[in-house]
Chain A
Amino acid sequence: MDSIFQKKLKKVFSPNSIAVIGASDSFEKLGYHVMKSLVLGGYRGCLYPVNPASERIWGLKAHRSILDIEKEVELAIIVVPAKKSLDVLFECGKKKVMGAVIISAGYKETEGDEGKYLEERMRELSEGLEIPIVGPNTFGFVNVTDKVNASFTYEFSLIKEGGTTIISQSGGFCHLIGFLAIEERMGVAKLVGLGNRVNLDFHHTVRYFLEEDSATKALVLYIEGMDEPRKLFNAISQSKAKKPIIAYKSAKNVKRDVASKFHTGSLAGNYKIWKGAFRQFGILEVADSEELIDIAKALEACPSMRGERVAVLSGQAGPGIIAADVLEKEGLKLANFSEVTQRKIDELLPPLAIRTNPVDMGPAWYSPKTILSILKVASDDENTDGILFLNMFASANLKLVKEMVRILRDLEPFNKPVIACLCAPPGIWDEEIKEIDGQKGIVVVPTPERAAKTLANLYRIGSTGR
């Protein structure tokens, strides 16, 4: 079954034709919002709304049933009430669709037996029909690469295209990360909510995106819990494709009711084993959403971090000291500049400035050229592996970042990761930051602490060998 699924997944996530069963023109229905996502999200394939009660939906000809569509349908998105979903799925099987997204809720996640029964029937039916299902009880998925917004949230179409694919057990988490991604200019390839995972699970999708999807450069997994985690780890270890994998594990405090008389059994907390397994299989674990966004951006835009030595260049002393503290805590070191580098920095800064690492670039505020020269010199030094570049706005350095943008355009990309923090009141440097973020090996994050942590994570990912 798994190998049949693997073959079909390309058609599921990049379909040439989609039927929306339960499509609607009424704002109160999810079927309206799924249509909106596909149409306004710029879906380029054939789109067939299905609803027996309407002639036209979203300006397109509506069909009474999926079986009334003459041409082939690769993906069915099902947004009908749970009770009707099995009949619809059966028709999809007759239509020979390659896969389905079942957005409807009311299955295993509900109280009582009815939902569980429906889901069990769905599992049996889909196995028989060999239809891989995203869901049920999911917001859907978004393929940013090919403009397939198969979800009920059109705004995901505003996410920048990039190389990070997110596979999540929670739709809510996808919304959290999706909107943060827009806010923080993170690029996404695919955003997938697995929902109840009736037959399509982490191990299928991880394998597919590692091996078959060239747009995916890095994977993010959001995991609450699973019955058979080994399937996931086996899929990762068997995959020949070496792409970085980041995991965010929640529900860390789930108590097990194991009363072992042994030390090993009583200490074997579920999360402790997850933590160990992440290390074992070269997966970087992050502790919060910000960390996740930052490292995903850095993986996409920065060169790799080959060692632990960091140059901290700061327009003000304080943020540099803060960053240095976090670096130390995260296991990185402040670099010792080579003599040549030190001499060049000495020449660039007036005598009173602190010119050893962390470098206080304050006196060079009015000269963006000088500040970028210091950055260049520090990144060319063979004793550095990564750079933190921190500048707080002050009335006096208003033009600093605008000038930087201009000068950067003609500069070669930096050959080491540069994590920048350019902090200003809303509206002042926004456009310039957008311009710099993700260019020339530089990534911009909101705080010095996050900048330092991002470098540490970049270094850790480098040592996983993935």
Chain B
Amino acid sequence: METILTAFEALEFLKKKEFPVLESKIAKKEEEALFYAKEIGFPVTLKISSKKVIHKSEIRGVRTFIVDAEGVRRAFRDLLDSFYSIFREDDLEGIIVQKMGFGFEMIVGVYEDINFGPVIMVGQGGIYVEDVGDVTFRLLPITERDATSMFEDISVSKVVRSKRIADFDVLKFLQFVKKVSDLATQRPEIKEMDLNPVFVSKEVMICDARIRLLGARSV
């Protein structure tokens, strides 16, 4: 028996565990979405939350950089249209209204390998993560030194020294990676987890998460 959390449930789960998550609300109705967008402050992102959808971008389930009320309304309807063209009404949990994240896109994940047991992955994130494959693994749990060597393994570490990227707080990101390792160790029922993208600038912020838990829903 296992459970895959919806996009919103996964974000809530991480927030409870005191991880930095971009401010997110779930809206069932257009007016709700508008209210939350104003509360959070523009620009915002709207995206689908459904137990049927694991990779939102594959069904065009994300709208970014929404800057005004008109944009919220348009994106909300748009998302519903594209969702209902594939799924039923009761498959939708709602539309996430989220503060727009900025920074470099990273991925941090955990996974239970058939031979190695629990492992952690760090790499360059975003929607092309599997095409780029700029990732590295370690066995869980990891030390701070492991987190540092993981960062050295991936070509993203060159980005930090780039003049094009204003800020990339390496230390905060490494602490974040260690925190993910600690969570996975304390909560072995987490069988698989993608945190992607995680925006890294002066701050580290989780934008999206996928979590597969062993057992029934116990968030």
Binding site for B on A (CB under 8 A): 226-230, 233, 256, 258, 260-268, 270, 272-273, 275-277, 279-280
Contacts and interface: CB of A to CB of B under 8 A. Distances in A.
Given A268-B111, A273-B119, A280 B149 contact: yes
Interface residues of B, number: 34
User: Interface of chain B, helix or strand or loop or mixed?
Assistant: strand
A266 to B, nearest CB: 6
B210 A272 contact: no
Interface stretch (B33-41, B61-69, B71-79, B130-138): B130-138
Contacts, number: 86
Contact of A262 (B111, B113, B133): B111
Contacts of A273: 113, 115-116, 119, 137, 139
Nearest to A227: B115
Contact of A264 (B110, B133, B139): B110
A262 B109 contact: yes
B93 interface: no
A13 to B, nearest CB: 28
Contact of B146 (A261, A275, A280): A280
Contact of B115 (A228, A260, A261): A228
A264 B192 contact: yes
User: Interface of chain A, helix or strand or loop or mixed?
Assistant: helix
Contact of B196 (A227, A256, A263, A268): A263
Interface in B184-216: 192-194, 196, 210, 212
A268 B138 CA distance: 10
Given A226-B115, A229-B115, A280-B149, A260 B192 contact: yes
A262 B153 CA distance: 22
B142 interface: yes
A262 B114 contact: no
24 contacts: A230-B117, A233-B139, A262-B54, A262-B194, A263-B107, A263-B130, A264-B107, A264-B110, A264-B121, A264-B194, A265-B192, A267-B123, A267-B133, A267-B135, A268-B111, A268-B113, A268-B121, A270-B113, A272-B135, A272-B137, A273-B137, A275-B136, A276-B138, A277-B116
A267 B130 contact: yes
Nearest to A258: B114
A267 B122 CA distance: 11
Nearest to A237: B139
Nearest to A225: B115
B160 interface: no
Q: Which of B115, B129, B138 has the most C-beta atoms of chain A within 10 angstroms of its own C-beta?
A: B115
